[in-house]
Amino acid sequence: MKRGVRRSVIGLAVIATASLTALKPAEAIDAGTAVGIGLGSLALGSALGSAPRAYPYYYPYGYYYPAPAYYAPPPAYYPPPRSCWDPYYRRYYAC
């Protein structure tokens, strides 16, 4: 937890320093500077967004728990057909 707070404070200090030393608001910036700012913000957002979650089992609204593992149902038990002995015809028949 302390490491995350430390990173946030360092990130905010860098942003504050960059904003204080930036050009005057009336001056325009060229395309290379704009690309640098965009890539820097992408890197900063990726670094802050990839931090481990504080609540590993919490899923915000719209996100759900992973699907449970699928277990196949057990095979059905079919008892053998019932048969009875007929002594007169000397054979088995279905009862």
Alpha helices per DSSP H over the chain: 2-20, 31-49
- Residue whose structure tokens are 């504080």: 54
Residue where the block lists tokens 């915000």: 60
Q: Where are the domains of the chain?
A: 2-49
Q: What pLDDT is recorded for position 20?
A: 59
Q: What contacts 37, CB < 8 A, 6 or more positions away? A: 29
- pLDDT digits 0-9 by tens, 17-64: 766 566 556 577 888 888 888 888 888 877 777 666 666 666 666 666
